[in-house]
Chains A and B, each alone.
Chain A
Amino acid sequence: MAYPMRVRATLKGDIAEVRVLMNHPMEAGLRRASDGKPVPMHFIQNVTVKLNGKTRIEGETSQALSTNPVFSFRLKDVKAGDRLEIAWLDNQGQQNRTETAIA
């Protein structure tokens, strides 16, 4: 799958701080390529954060997010070994998903 993600989760007590970097051009559709043709919009529209299969955060995003966006989220009632799943979907139908265990 194109555009891998990098996730880092740090647990403090029962609160997990989740940082995720999504490799994505987040093209706003305002730029022109060197051949003068406009670069079409291409950006992440949906971000989902799940813990142990249960949705905790549901995000809708626009082309205004920076290229290769980095998000921080905070989840509570988390313990070591919990399964963290993050997924995104963009306006061109591409998607990616990553799963990691909270350390």
Chain B
Amino acid sequence: MNAVRRAMLQGLAALAASLAVPLRALAAGWNKDAFQSKTPGDALRSLGAAGAADSAEILIDAPQIAENGAVVPIEITSNLPGTRSLAVLIEKNPFPLAGRFEFLDGALPYVKVNVKMGESSNVRVVAEAGGRFYAAVKEVKVTIGGCGG
């Protein structure tokens, strides 16, 4: 059952990816499937990044403990040569994918942004470089109501 489901999902993701590329070339798109995914796995599949390999070349600068989950600064840098895009997933948020940034010629693969976090969670950053996907993870604890997280 599971194998069939997985194969179907992968097929769908591949189809979505092949459709999404020409669409994005025409206009600024918004990857609805990925952004509306409720689990990090589904979001990664929608991005075509299901098999991302771990990489130490992706740096995530985020607080270990964030007192206010409404404003958590996340700073990400990729040292992978040829990085084309970076995506940020807050794994335990209701919709994990927070953003995806594409870097064209003349932009460094770096972004800093404030995100909302519902609870303590892993922050996963996925980089696309040379047609392959790489990922790094950092845990951020969110203090709720001052009781420690």
Contact = CB atoms under 8 A, between A and B. Distances in A.
Given A65-B113, A66-B116, A56 B103 contact: yes
Interface residues of B, number: 33
Nearest to B77: A74
Interface in A58-84: 58-67, 69-78
A27 to B, nearest CB: 11
A52 to B, nearest CB: 10
B113 A70 contact: yes
B28 A73 contact: no
Interface residues on A, range: 20 to 34
A66 B71 contact: yes
A60 B114 contact: no
A87 to B, nearest CB: 9
B28 A46 contact: yes
B100 interface: yes
